Copies of this chain bind each other. A is one copy, B any other.
Amino acid sequence: MTAPDAVPLSVVDSWWRAANYLSVGQIYLLDNPLLKRPLKVDDIKPRLLGHWGTTPALNFIYAHLNKLIVERSSNVIYIAGPGHGGPGVVANAWLDGTYSELFPQVSQNGEGMRRLFRQFSFPGGIPSHAAPETPGSINEGGELGYSLVHAYGAALDNPELITACVIGDGEAETATLATSWHLNKFLSPMTDGAVLPILNLNGYKIANPTVLARIPEHELESLFIGYGYSPRIVAGGFDGEDPMAVHQRFADTMAQAFDDIATIQRQARSGGETARAAWPMVILKTPKGWTGPKVVDGLPVENTWRAHQVPLAGVRDNPEHLAQLQEWLMSYRPGELFDVHGKPVAELAPARPAGELRMSANPHANGGLLRKALTLPALEPVAVDLTPGDGPSGPGTGAEGRGAVAEPTKVLGSWLRDLIRLNPETFRIFGPDEVASNRLSDVYEVTAKEWQGEVLETDENLSHDGRVIEILSENLAQGLLEGYLLTGRHGLFTSYEAFIHVVDSMFNQYAKWLESSAKVEWRRPVSSFTYLLSSHVWRQDHNGFSHQDPGFLDHVVNKQSSVVRVYLPPDANTLLVTAEHCLASRDYVNVIVAGKQPTASLLSLEEARTHGARGLSVWEWAGTERAGQEPDVVVAAAGDVPTVEAMAAVQILKKEIPDLAVRFVNVVDLMRLQEQTEHPHGLDAASFDAVFTTDKPVMFAFHGYPSLIHRLTYRRTNHSNIHVRGFKEMGTTTTPFDMLMLNDLDRFRLVMDVIRRVPRLSTAYAGLSQKMDDERAAHRAYTRAHGEDAPDVVGSAGLVFASEEDVEAA
C-alpha cells in the first residue's frame, strides 16, 4: 500500500465549515436549508433548542482526525465529552455519508439536509445530545463526566484502536472526570489501544468560566504532567486570528501525538520498553462559540459563556437577529461546500475516510457488531457437591449433603477463573479494590491485576496484562465496564453493596442508553452489564451503619423493565447458575446480590438450575405443608441471610406447632414478583396466586427495604396479607444476629409474626410468642456479654436440613 497523499488543510477547513454550517442549520432551520432564498421567519424553528458553544471545537477536532485517519489508515473512534454539542457530531456523520446510509430518508441532498435540520431537537426527531441514536457514539452527552473513562474502557484489549476523546473544560471539573486521568496507569501499550485526550479549553461552562481556563499555564501543564501525560497546548482563534493558522498548529500537534502513540506502542510491543510511558494529551484552547456571532444586542457572545446555547435567541421576533443568522450561516460559504442539490462537494472527499474507518461508521462504536459470545466453562467442577458420600472432587467431598457450608462468592471466583482461562482477551473484572475482599481471589490463579505503575518485590498479583482492574473509584469501575461492553466485550463489576450508590447516576444513564438503543435499529445488542454486589447489608459486622444499605435495588427497578434484572441467589450453586445466565445475556443490566460469608448450600447444582429457571420456587423440603392441602401460612424469603433465617423460623414452628402447614418459598429472580404486564419475568396472576395463595398470610423475609416487595406486589390478589420484614435502616457495628434482631428479621421475630398473622394461632400460642421474645432478649444480652453471637444462631448452625433421600429425590 502506498501512503496516501496528505489531506490539504484547505480541505480540512472546508470540512469544518461544512460541519459548522450543518450544526447551525440544525439548531435554527425548519426549511430553506441551502439558503437558496433569504431567510424568512417561517424558515426558523419555533423552539430554538441546542448548544452552539461547544460545537465548533467538536467539529474542528473531528475534521482533523479525519485527516489523520485518511493519511494513516488509523482506526479511531470519537468520543464527544461535551456531547450536548449533538448537532456537531450528527453533522459530521452526515458529511461522512454514514448518516444517510443508516437513515436513508436523511439523504445527502437538499431534501435530506432539510430533514436533517428539522429533526434535530424536534418532536419525534433526534435528541440534542450525542446519544445512542448518534452514529459513532458510545457516550451519552447529557450527564457530563464520563467521556474519558469510556474512552479507556473502549481502548482495553483493542491494540489497534485509538479513542480520541474530547473533554469539556467544564466537564473536567466533574468528580469522575477528575479521577479518570489516572487511568493511564492501567492501560497496556502492548495489548491495549491508545487514548488521546483532547481537552477543549473553551473557557466556559453554562454560566461561568472554568477552573482550568483560569489558572496559569504552568499550573495547567504541571497538572497533566502530574497525571502522567505529555501535554501539548494549542491556542488559537482569538482576536480574529485566521483559522488557517490554527489548523496548521493543530495539525502539527495532532500528527506529533499520533506519532508519539505509535512510538510508545512500537517500543512496548517490540519488547524493549516496560516503563510506563507519558502518553500525549492535547489542550485545545479556542473561543467558546468560535465562528459564531461575536456580539448580540450589544453584548459579547463569542468567547463568553453567552455562547453556550443559542446565541441568537430572538430570530423569529427580531429582524436584526434574523439578519445576523443569515450572515452567520453565509460566513461558512455554503455555496463552496454543497452543490445545488445539497450534496457535499467532491472537494471535501479527501477528508472523508473510507468505509469503516469513518469514525461515524467504526464498528467499535456499535460493539454488538463485533461481539462474540463468551465461552462459558462448566459449572460442575466448581459447584458445591451435595450428593451424600463421595463427591466428584474425591472421596468424602460430597458427604455433607444439603446444608454444606460454602462461601458463595468464593465458589463463583473459581468459576470466573475458568472463564478467564477460556476467554483471555474479551472478559474483564472491574472493582474498587474489593475483588479480594469479595473473595474472588481464585481468579489470580490464572491472571493478575493490571498495573502499569511501579512494582515492588513484595507485591502480589500485579502484572502488565492482568484481567482485573482495581482502582478505588466505583465511578471508574462502572465507566470502564460500560466502555468495554459498548465496544463488544464482556465483564463484571464487583462492589460492596452499600457503596454501589456512588454510581447510581451512571447506572441511570447506562440504563437509559440501553432503553434508547433498543429503538435504534442499526445498534446491535451488547453484552449485559452485570453487578456482583457482595459484602452486603447483613454482614457488615466490622464496618457498621455507613456500610449498610441495600437500596440500590430500589433504584434499579425504576428503570424500564425491558432492561433491568435483579437476582438474590440464596447459596453458592444458585449464584453460579445466576452468574452463568447473566454473563450470557445481552442488553440488560443484571444486579446480583450475593454473600461472601460461609453459608449453607441449600440446593444441588441441578436443583439450582431448576430454581434459577423458575425464578421462584416452593421448597417442599423446607416447609411443613402436606401435598394436596392448602398451607396455613406462606413463609417466603429472598436473599441468602433471610433465607437461612426464614428456614430457622420454620424449624422452630415445626417443633412447636407440629400441625401447622407452612409453605416455604424462595425467590431468586425478584422480578418474578411483579405482574406479567409490568415486567417480562413477571409471574402470571394464576401462578402467583397458586404459590402465594389468595388469602393466607405471607411472611416475607427480604434482603432489602421491605417497601420494595410491596411495590412489586401491590397489585397481587393476596397483597393485603403480605407482611414483609427487611432492612429498616437500623444498623451499627454489631454481630450478624443482632443486626437481624435490630431490623426484626430474626427467626424469633418471624415466628412471632406467624403466630400473630395466622388467626388460629394468635391467642393459642401467646406463650410461644412470649418465649420468642425472651429468646430475643437473651440473644441480645449474650452479644453484649460475649461480643459475639450465641452459637445456636450463627448462620445455619444446628438447622436440620432434609435427608439424603430428599436431595436425590428433588
Contact = CB atoms under 8 A, between A and B. Distances in A.
A34 interface: no
A275 to B, nearest CB: 10
Given A140-B546, A733-B125, A208 B787 contact: no
A593 to B, nearest CB: 16
Nearest to A182: B211
Nearest to A563: B729
A123 interface: yes
A524 interface: no
A780 B462 CA distance: 58
A635 to B, nearest CB: 21
Interface string A464-507: 00000011110110000000000000000000001101101100
The majority secondary structure among interface residues of chain A is loop
Contacts of A780: 123
Contacts of A45: 787
A207 interface: yes
Given A226-B223, A545-B512, A46 B505 contact: no
Interface stretch (A265-273, A547-555, A606-614): A547-555
A159 interface: no
Given A47-B541, A542-B50, A122 B433 contact: no
A47 B788 contact: yes
B175 A179 contact: yes
Contact of A171 (B141, B458, B472, B733): B472
Contacts of A541: 47, 49
A208 B504 contact: no
Nearest to A309: B542
Contact of A129 (B131, B471, B544, B560): B544
Contacts of A341: none
A552 to B, nearest CB: 9
B545 A142 contact: yes
A434 to B, nearest CB: 7
B472 A128 contact: no
Nearest to A183: B211
A742 to B, nearest CB: 10
A791 B701 CA distance: 53
Chain A interface residue number, banded = 35 or more
Contacts of A244: none
B226 A788 contact: no
B499 A143 contact: yes
Contacts of A454: 209, 214-216
Interface stretch (A322-330, A617-625, A679-687, A703-711): A703-711
A124 interface: yes
B733 A128 contact: yes
A705 B678 CA distance: 14
Contacts of A504: 501-502, 504-505, 555
Nearest to A214: B453
Interface in A162-209: 170-171, 173-179, 182, 185, 205-209
A404 B245 CA distance: 55
A558 B554 contact: yes
A435 interface: yes
Interface in A292-339: 300, 303-304, 309
Contacts of A455: 214
A787 B499 contact: no
A215 B185 contact: yes
A515 interface: yes
A657 B217 CA distance: 71
A292 to B, nearest CB: 15
Nearest to A476: B175
Contacts of A185: 211, 214-215
A505 B502 contact: yes
A705 B458 CA distance: 52
A505 B503 CA distance: 8
Contact of A505 (B449, B499, B508): B499
Contacts of A143: 498-499, 502, 546-547
B733 A49 contact: yes
Contact of A554 (B175, B214, B498, B555): B555
A509 interface: yes
A54 interface: no
A520 to B, nearest CB: 12
Contacts of A224: 226
Contact of A175 (B176, B436, B543): B176
Q: Which 3 A-B pairs have the closest CB atoms?
A: A142-B546, A223-B226, A214-B453
28 contacts: A45-B787, A121-B733, A123-B735, A123-B738, A127-B545, A128-B543, A129-B544, A131-B544, A131-B545, A141-B546, A142-B546, A142-B547, A143-B502, A143-B546, A170-B472, A185-B215, A206-B437, A219-B227, A223-B226, A499-B505, A501-B505, A504-B505, A509-B546, A515-B545, A558-B705, A560-B729, A707-B711, A711-B711
